[in-house]
Chains A and B, each alone.
Chain A
């Protein structure tokens, strides 16, 4: 008795990926184990911790709460797709600069969340940053360096925009 498999096509980090998955396969498992993108982590499997956050058409989603089949035809960005080639994104750079990570397990989720947050709101207030981060849990840092990293990333992005202009 085999489980019915569904053909799906996802554009992950700009690359079209086709795979066959059972209907119940979680997007997080599909990314990690079918597509080999193990930068997305699973911390709770019930949508609370935010470790598995990826961007679906630019919006942060919990990949542990989505079936892979529902992502069919969509664009997904994972932590592996945040850098521009060898150049880290401003959010990535800011996290390293501000020591916004220790064990690093929650980090990909935070990076995706913050990337979306700053795209939506390039200069968030302290309050807005706390609210934006409150759906991602970290057990190592106490968050303050993550908060700093968000503000620093906003600063870097503003500088880079100014340079381009």
Chain B
């Protein structure tokens, strides 16, 4: 073990003693690939955590927002004066009070020439466009009193017609959400000749799927603490994106970037919901600036359901042209995407992230995609786990199952006939992406075996034969996705406002310990553990000797943060790159001290040795030698550290095969998942424990969309699912145990061979489950059940089908 730092020891070592710290023991094997227990857990299981809402500061005030009860209205008057007289109230403001300085919440992804980016004031000034939009705020000495005082604010509204349905919103004479109308943008993409593919096609399938509106529901509610400090401000926020947030807040508020520090302390889940620049973050800063005191806002769950961005909400029309043998000729997609009332950070970009994935794992001659973004009077949509790719995968995987049914073929067989075979990689798809690696055959074979596919099909046939009221359904999903966002050049070509690189710094401290600074911003993903593993292997230091710093722009000044399954694929690779640079420096120093040529020095297991001799220096000895600086090569700076950025040349393309068996009660509509098998290929794996955790959690969310979750509005545009009793995320009792396994086809686009894993489970699971539900009901003539497939919807689908059928089934 390494010894504790003490001055005498350091002095001895500087004087030329033998060792500082110790390299890791090579007999322990490599860290990468090892199921390390997470170093994050110690603080999380003992309550020694630092969530934004924990922060208490002297003089801190609490903010509460008055929110519009109308989905669409003119805001004619806001009078906060009575609130000012309430106990504990320090200040109260309407949107008008900040009209000159609050600016407009940013949209960083102007996707097209025709995109309409409406003004989006953090507090409404004269118009409200969704229930929950902030119209005034109170700042008080405690949260309860701030809430009390909201009651005293007078706000007058002239109601306007709510705009809730996308098709109606685009029709002539629809009430306009914004002056420019209800169309936010149109975006088209095509590869190959779709007209030719569809012309005379022996089979053409036409389906419409609805991606219901979802509420991401991270367990930690959003919270913001804004603190005037020195010349500038520190903003603590439960955010996934401290770096992007800092830039955006500087642009939005006019607070100079160098005087603004953003901190993401412990953050309790995000799933895209904290990939945002929110009204409350902007207003928190403006209030701290105006009042000169720290202010805090923590949302309640109901407030969050109303006002934090939602996800999905698309209507997908998909057409598939195919041969009689099941081979797909082409796919056409016409998409309506509900933007909600405004375009937030990446709102219009979400459907584009799916646009390249509608061909899935399949080869085809032609693909045609059209998307229309639509404004409605609902809270804006934006990224939710998978962002665009779950929608695309759902549509193509559902359609392939429908094609199989239409042709009377096994759905796995139809997939085999169409997918890119293992020897065809790298493969450029009809959508123009180059999938670098994959092995769909291997993942599928493994999944079928674990699932007991043939046995379940036999049981299904038997139950169908017996007209068992409880039918068995089998759903298949052979998904792939593009993640590891993203090559900066590609993002630029898609009009995104920033790049997709990631930054890391690695610093060897004088005692041989290592600080890793990452631009990723974990909120449950375990980067502190995985990045330590990568560093331990690269530098030959013990895992315990590494610490990982993140989530504070004063500590980690550069980064692109955490979303889009990018952290390992981009940020982890940046850590490796920084380690390599440190080793280059250390090698030069070792050569100098050992009086050898650089090229004669080799590195293994934490020690630089002169080739063919037993002469060497450990990396820890070199760290101390660099610090002491007594004997350095000319021009060598007295430190062993390095910065690196990594900008991937390609996305990463994890894939896999998920199989789901459901039992559907045709009398009650109840659906129960009987078994679920997931075989994923996420390339090389740094920590199997964490990877499996991501897969399981992802599947749970995918199942949530398939069976349970939906944001529901009434005809006036009021959200009805404002509590966790109304918006149902799965509980332990709702989910079976999943069987998970992996195949491993390394990515060729990065030196670690890794692919992203954060979103894979969610992308794969939803179509697997719905395919299973429909498969169970198909003998009853059911071809689709809209999500979520609740007992009521299953029952209605059966009833409708029986009615159409004259009740013969």
Contacts and interface: CB of A to CB of B under 8 A. Distances in A.
Contacts of A106: 219
B189 interface: no
B41 A96 contact: yes
Interface stretch (B43-51, B157-165, B320-328): B43-51
B47 A96 contact: no
A68 B224 CA distance: 25
B45 A101 contact: yes
Contacts, number: 172
Given A96-B42, A97-B37, A142 B269 contact: no
Given A80-B47, A142-B699, A42 B42 contact: no
In this complex, the member of B690, B729, B730, B731 whose beta carbon has the largest number of chain A beta carbons within 10 angstroms is: B731
A86 to B, nearest CB: 10
Contacts of B217: 139
Contacts of B46: 39, 79-80, 82-83, 88, 92
Nearest to A105: B268
A38 B700 contact: no
Given A46-B724, A139-B269, A142-B700, A105 B41 contact: no
A122 interface: no
Nearest to B48: A39
B697 A133 contact: no
- What bracket does the count of chain B residues touching chain A fall in? 35 or more
Contacts of A38: 47, 49, 51, 53-54
Contact of A48 (B271, B692, B723): B723
A45 B305 CA distance: 13
A92 B143 CA distance: 32
B729 A137 contact: yes
A49 B723 CA distance: 10
A77 B43 CA distance: 17
A40 B43 CA distance: 13
Interface in B707-724: 723-724
A103 B45 contact: no
B524 A46 contact: no
Interface string A38-60: 11111111101101000000000
B267 interface: yes
A103 B220 contact: yes
Contacts of B43: 104
Contact of B45 (A45, A107, A139, A144): A107
A146 interface: yes
A145 B44 CA distance: 16
B41 A142 contact: no
A107 B699 CA distance: 20
A120 interface: no
A137 B219 contact: yes
Given A24-B144, A108-B47, A134-B731, A102 B526 contact: yes
B733 interface: yes
B650 interface: no
Interface in A23-44: 24-25, 29, 32-33, 36-44
A104 B725 CA distance: 22
B215 to A, nearest CB: 11
Contact of A92 (B45, B267, B689): B45
B735 A142 contact: yes
Nearest to A129: B732
A114 B51 CA distance: 23
Contacts of B751: none
B301 interface: yes
B738 interface: yes
B736 to A, nearest CB: 9
A2 interface: yes
Nearest to A94: B45
B144 A144 contact: no
A97 B45 CA distance: 11
Contacts of A141: 693, 696-697, 700
Contacts of A105: 51, 218-220, 268-269
B47 A99 contact: no
B269 A102 contact: yes
Contacts of A135: 731
B266 interface: yes
A53 B557 CA distance: 37
A163 to B, nearest CB: 22
A33 B51 CA distance: 13
Nearest to A148: B737
A103 B524 contact: yes
B56 A139 contact: no
Contacts of B38: 96, 99
Contacts of A41: 51, 219-220, 268
Interface string B678-714: 0000000000011011001111110000000000000
Interface residues of A, number: 61
B268 A95 contact: no
A129 B692 CA distance: 21
Nearest to B738: A144
B525 interface: yes
Contact of B47 (A39, A44, A130): A39
Interface string B122-141: 00000000000000000000
B724 A44 contact: yes
A137 to B, nearest CB: 6
User: Which of B268, B689, B730 counts the most chain A CB atoms within 10 A?
Assistant: B268
A96 to B, nearest CB: 4
Contacts of A96: 37-38, 41-42, 45
Contacts of A83: 46
B269 A99 contact: no
Interface string A108-132: 1001000000000000000001110
A115 B524 CA distance: 23
B147 to A, nearest CB: 10
Q: Which of A32, A83, A141, A146 has the most CB of B within 10 A?
A: A141
A128 to B, nearest CB: 11
Nearest to B35: A99
A63 interface: no
B732 A134 contact: yes
A146 B693 contact: no
B48 A139 contact: no
A105 B45 CA distance: 10
A129 to B, nearest CB: 8
Nearest to A111: B45
A106 B271 CA distance: 15
Given A46-B725, A102-B524, A143-B700, A88 B54 contact: no
A104 to B, nearest CB: 3
Nearest to B703: A142
Contacts of A92: 45-46
A13 to B, nearest CB: 10
Contact of B723 (A24, A44, A133, A146): A44
A12 interface: no
B44 A37 contact: no
B37 to A, nearest CB: 6
Contacts of A2: 87
Interface in B747-796: 761
A146 B735 CA distance: 12
Given A99-B37, A104-B49, A142-B699, A134 B526 contact: no
**3 residue pairs, one from A and one from B, having the closest CB atoms:** A39-B47, A105-B268, A103-B524
12 contacts: A39-B46, A49-B301, A79-B45, A102-B269, A103-B219, A103-B524, A129-B732, A139-B729, A140-B693, A141-B697, A142-B738, A143-B735
Interface of B: 37-38, 40-49, 51, 53-54, 56, 87, 143-144, 217-221, 266-269, 271, 300-302, 523-526, 689-690, 692-693, 696-701, 723-725, 729-733, 735, 737-738, 761
Given A96-B37, A96-B42, A103-B267, 7 more contacts: A38-B49, A41-B268, A83-B46, A102-B525, A111-B45, A138-B732, A139-B218
Interface of A: 1-3, 22, 24-25, 29, 32-33, 36-46, 48-49, 51, 78-80, 82-83, 88, 92, 95-97, 99, 101-108, 111, 129-131, 133-147
